[in-house]
Chains A and B, each alone.
Chain A
Amino acid sequence: MTTDLAPALLEDTHLGPHAGGLYRRQNIWTGLAAGIGLGFVGWLVSHAALQGSNWGTDMVVTVTMVGWVVGFNVGVGTFNGPLRWMLGHDQSHEDELYAAGVGQGRKRYYKFCTDHKVVGTQYLALVIVLFAIGGTLAMLMRTQLITPHTDFLSANAYNAIVSVHGMCMIIATIIMVTGPFTNFIMPIMIGAKDMAFPRLNAMAFWVVFSAIPPLLATFFLGGVDAGWTTYAPLSVQAPPAMDAFSIALIVFAISVTVSGANTIVTILTMRAKGMTFGRLPIFTWASLIGAALSIYAMPALLIAFTSMISDRVTGTSFFVATQGGTGWLWENAFWIFGHPEVYIILIPPVGAMMEVAVTFARKPLFGYKVTVAGFVAISALSIMVWAHHMFTTGWAPTLAGPFMVTTEIISIPTGIIFLCLIGTLWKGRIWTRLPMYFVYLFLWNFIIGGVTGIYLSDTPADEYFHGDMFVTAHFHYTLLGGAMIAATAGLCYWFPKITGKVLNERIGKTAFWMIAIGIQVTYFGMFWEGFEGMPRRVAFYDPTFQPANDLATGGAYLLMLGWIVLLYAGINSVRNGPNATANPWHAKTLEWKVPTPVPLENFLVDPVVTSDPYGYGQPEPVGPPVVLPPHPDRELVPNISSDNPPAGGGE
């Protein structure tokens, strides 16, 4: 079927000259102008009012950054809907169509657009930019570490880069799957026309977009010298960069909370007829669980950084020991966010990768219910393990035992995820296209990340490794080697659906090998440094650590080059590649049953689902045909539903 089903009718709708109202005039440029304008006004007013006071600079930076964020979002159109409600009238249907990007061609990607596919694509571009920034910062650090005393970065610049590299990558990895794929793919997977709250969806994107300039502005405000964890009281004393950093994180927390709520409501309420919870594709489950976890974790981040700003600007002392506070409060608040956060990063990509594994092993997912239970168990446990980051802080030594128990128990549901993956490969027909390469790389890396995590979960061993390069290597193996590689599998898999082009796999496989080898070399170097006893976050080090550092730096260059080659493969394919068919992988989830490019509102008729999407190796259905409901103004009737009745399974 299907490419000839496009173009959909909605996109041909002719809108009147005033459709969209204010949206007609707004785009990213008006946003930038309004943001810079309001930021400048904020700077001017606060500077004039507060000149000479002790905490003036921090207040000025805070006001300026808030001015930027509010101004940008007003300028880009984030608040148009609510503002019109306040004025007593809602947007007309034409306005909504305009806001969904009808008739604007490519310009809609630079505007406040409510179409979930446009938002997904915008997220994808932002994620790539963030990875490029974070990766460049990583290369600067690795270059500094070539020799024990390289005269390349100053100590202050190095610390500033350490902090922003960390936070930039955390932001990028949190939204790398929930942004592009949960937005673009997940609604189609469950047979929905869009997300539950399209305006909120667009808002989540532009809000996180507006968080990036404050994050980068830290370089020009003295630099954050406290690492991405910004432990107090060092962070309370840090240069004004810390205010901008806090604003960036507060804004980011708002965005992720909003998008998490949107995802949950979408999955709970927007599923097509017949899309029962037992038939949800596993990626949808992963999105749901990841979103639930982010609703839990992000408020902690928001509270932590709000208190931080309060300490710095208004002279409260939540985190200042000499004035009755404690740094341990910061550490607890931060890690109550920080540990669920790694599973917010991890679970959605793993779900995406399982779709890939199913499609390229040509087999149903092994242990569907067990996998879902595994995700749920991981999430539930992940909110009870945060203090394993604090084994060596001296805080509550009696809790070291209990937190060690919860931390190590989490390896049981994680093991289940591995079982389901290798169970899916078992006796499959392994179709080794590019996405499947990354599934195997995930298996390799994540085992290493997981096993080294067990050492760190053991309090006595953590008292050796904590705060050294072993930890750095461990979490890069899990987050880069695990989550990001899984997300890359998903990207290569959905590339034809999202871009409408076929990905150049020849170049892609070259990139794959560079990335795969680069990861091993880089992080084996870092494990070595860690065993030798090299602390994290140092710009200068003992000469005995040099061989390990040179190995890591060499690997890092190869790794970065691999990502650049992959990016080139993507861009080259978008520009010059052949058009993709609707279902190049012959997969069975719903997103492959709609045309490519996907029309506005995705489905020409409402889909009816009759089975789960994993009916590989089962006979074609012989049951009664699916009766599609009549539809008044659309004539095209694609074959929508998945085909097969459930086979009863082996459960």
Chain B
Amino acid sequence: MSSDAPGVGEPPLLEPADPPVQEEPFFSRPLGKIFIIWLAMTTVGVLIGIFVPHHVMPTLLSHEATDVWRTIVLFTILAAPVAALVYSVAAYSLIAWRHRGNQDEPPEDGPPLRGNNMVTGVWLATSTVLVLVLLAWGLSVYSSDETSHPGTLVVDVTGQQWLWTFSYPGTGVNTRSLVLPINRPVEFDVTSVDVTHGFWPVALGVQVDANPGVVTVIRASPDKLGNFTVRCSQLCGLYHSFMYAPGAVVTKAKFSQWLQSQGASTTTAQAAALITKQ
């Protein structure tokens, strides 16, 4: 409210008035100081978001896993200013507004501020916009993940206490390790023969439960060569800890060789391996 601002437009008093109070520069007012703290904390948060996650995640081998990483970075960058705002006000209140006298007696009361419609409105609007951005991002990534592509390789995944079996329909291959060709979308048709398991090829960034009696579907697009581990993400009884299987993303030629080594005939193996995007 500009009319409340001290020293502006007031008529001279009878006694010689003090020189008009110079408005303090922004950075020495509470808001300015909090802004500096906020900026520093936001910067730290953004830097953490950009540089930390991929150091602590395994090597990401699929398009979906890279999307997960992008999501984490984006969400951290968006959350950093909000978190920093709360932290900077809290930190500043401890520095500047702390009662430093006798701690056995309460300080005198603070100002009776019971709310501020403008601040609340701005806060609400900002958080709504942020949530809409998160939702737009998340929903679009999700729908692109869910789209099925032509030329998809289908792998049947079966969980049981406490191991995984992978079979490649049409090839007769039935194995305990998950080998996938690079740059070819894959669809996992997942089921269980006993209790609920969680099919989680970690570095592919997707997972779905293996439920008895139903087939659940999840898709991934491996786009990097490398090894990974298939884990079980639902507690499934005594040896849940030991329910994991080796996995690898390999070149198409190697995939064909591997299928043959697992007992597929040469023609089916080549056919299975060589279907490309149509």
Contact = CB atoms under 8 A, between A and B. Distances in A.
Say whether A and B bind each other: yes
Interface of A: 155-156, 159, 162, 225-227, 231-234, 237, 321-322, 326-328, 361-370, 392-394, 397, 400-401, 404-405, 408-409, 411-412, 415-416, 418-419, 421-423, 425-433, 440, 443-444, 447-448, 451, 454-455, 457-461, 463-464, 466-468, 528, 531-533, 535-542, 585-586, 614-618, 647, 649-651
Contacts of B58: 532-533
27 contacts: A155-B241, A159-B235, A162-B235, A225-B237, A233-B195, A233-B196, A327-B196, A327-B211, A328-B211, A394-B190, A394-B216, A404-B142, A412-B127, A416-B123, A418-B86, A419-B119, A425-B90, A432-B94, A433-B103, A443-B90, A447-B87, A460-B145, A464-B207, A467-B234, A468-B200, A468-B233, A533-B58
A448 B87 CA distance: 11
Contacts of B267: none
Given A364-B113, A461-B75, 9 more contacts: A234-B196, A326-B211, A394-B211, A394-B214, A408-B138, A425-B97, A426-B93, A528-B56, A650-B114
Contacts of B98: 430, 432
A392 B233 contact: yes
Contacts of A443: 86-87, 90
B108 to A, nearest CB: 6
Contact of B109 (A362, A425, A460, A651): A362
A444 B94 CA distance: 13
A218 to B, nearest CB: 15
A368 B99 contact: no
Interface string B94-105: 100111000100
Interface in B183-205: 190, 194-196, 198, 200, 202-203, 205
The 10 A-B pairs of least Cβ separation, nearest first, read A394-B216, A467-B233, A321-B213, A429-B107, A533-B202, A617-B109, A649-B114, A617-B112, A531-B56, A538-B241
A492 B108 CA distance: 22
Contact of A451 (B83, B206, B244): B83
Nearest to B82: A415
B236 interface: yes
A489 B142 CA distance: 41
Nearest to A390: B209
B161 to A, nearest CB: 9
Interface string B50-79: 000100111000001101100110011001
Given A411-B127, A451-B79, A362 B107 contact: yes
B211 A321 contact: yes
Interface residues of B, number: 90
A418 B83 CA distance: 10
A447 B76 CA distance: 12
Contacts of B114: 364-368, 614, 647, 649-651
Given A400-B142, A404-B135, A231 B235 contact: yes
B275 interface: no
A140 to B, nearest CB: 16
B47 interface: no
Nearest to A410: B131
A227 B113 contact: no
Contacts of B206: 463-464
Interface string B216-238: 11100000000001011111111
Contact of A650 (B113, B124, B146, B240): B113
A464 B93 CA distance: 38
A620 to B, nearest CB: 11
B261 interface: no
Given A234-B195, A447-B86, A532-B57, A394 B217 contact: yes
Contacts of A367: 114-116, 120
A392 B56 contact: no
A536 B110 CA distance: 47
Contacts of B143: 401
B19 interface: no
B170 interface: no
B108 A362 contact: yes
B47 to A, nearest CB: 15
Contacts of A461: 68, 71-72, 75, 138
Contacts of B198: 392, 466-467, 535
Contacts of A326: 211, 213-214
A362 B105 CA distance: 12
A264 to B, nearest CB: 27
Given A367-B120, A454-B134, A458-B138, A466 B233 contact: yes
Contacts of A415: 82, 123-124, 127
A111 to B, nearest CB: 38
A233 B195 CA distance: 6
Contacts of A586: 106
Nearest to B194: A233
A463 B86 CA distance: 30
Contacts of B90: 422, 425, 440, 443-444
A480 B185 CA distance: 42
Contact of A423 (B67, B97, B119): B119
Contacts of B231: 533, 535
Contacts of B209: 392-394
B128 interface: yes
Nearest to B195: A234
Given A464-B65, A535-B232, A321 B71 contact: no
A429 B213 CA distance: 63
A557 B82 CA distance: 32
A326 B75 CA distance: 35
A225 B142 contact: no
Most buried by B among A394, A408, A443, A454: A394
A404 B139 contact: yes
Contacts of A440: 90, 94
B141 interface: yes
B27 interface: no
A501 B120 CA distance: 40
Most buried by B among A231, A440, A458, A647: A458
A617 B107 CA distance: 11
Contacts of B135: 404-405, 408
Given A392-B233, A425-B93, A428-B93, A616 B131 contact: no
B131 A412 contact: yes
A408 B131 contact: yes
B115 A368 contact: yes
A322 B79 contact: no
B248 to A, nearest CB: 16
Nearest to B128: A412
Nearest to A429: B107
B111 interface: yes
B247 interface: no
B263 interface: no
Contacts of A538: 240-241
B249 interface: no
Nearest to B122: A419
A225 B107 contact: no
Given A362-B109, A368-B115, A455 B75 contact: yes
Contact of B235 (A227, A365, A366): A227
Contact of A464 (B68, B137, B213): B68
Given A533-B58, A616-B112, A322 B202 contact: no
Contacts of A392: 198, 207-209, 233
A616 B124 contact: no
Contacts of A362: 106-110
Contacts of B194: 233
A455 B190 CA distance: 25
Contacts of B83: 447-448, 451
A229 B67 CA distance: 29
Nearest to B202: A533
B107 A234 contact: no
